[in-house]
Amino acid sequence: MEDFYRELIIERYKDPHFRGVLDPNDISYEDDNPSCGDHIQIDVRLDEKGIVTEALFSGEGCAISQASADLLLESIIGKSVDDIKEISKEDILENLGIELGPVRLKCALLPLKVLKAGIYGINKTEESD
């Protein structure tokens, strides 16, 4: 079970590559995980074609949620908003390289939830999951 704490996760938790705030931005959204107090904000900049040029996250949380956010943002640079909509729970777990129980799964998926809510927020015709 200690395998949760793969080197990659500890490394990204201690030294994230995509931590910070973008102001101005094209997409900004924040949310909490009420069961544990994790809080994540994600800011994204898009070019005129809707391609992600920059993305940063801020907030507080456990190693799993923070590393998950960092790896997620790394994976979306150069992607379109439509590509981001296709990102699944499985993709996140594959990024992290671990399997999680229901409680910690929420930590791992919070960044994706925030990112998607932000994206669907600018395309209000479509429903968020």
In the Cβ-directed half-sphere of 10, how many Cα atoms lie within 13 Å?
Answer: 6
Binding residues among 69-128 for other proteins as defined by CB under 8 A: 104, 107
Residue 60 vs 94, nearer CB to other proteins: 60
- Smallest distance, other proteins to C-beta of residue 120, A: 26
Q: Which residues contact 127 (CB under 8 A, 6 or more apart)?
A: 120
Tokens of 2: 């200690």
Select from 21-29, 46-54, 63-71, 79-87 the region that touches other proteins (CB under 8 A).
63-71
Decide whether 1 or 124 has the Cβ nearer to other proteins: 1
Q: Which of residues 36-55 bind other proteins (CB under 8 A)?
A: 36-39
Q: Two tokens at 33? A: 């995980």
CB 64 within 8 A of CB 47: no
Q: Please give the Cα distance from 86 to 50 (Å, whole number).
A: 15
**Residues forming the site for other proteins (CB under 8 A):** 1-2, 4-5, 10, 14, 35-39, 60-64, 66, 104, 107
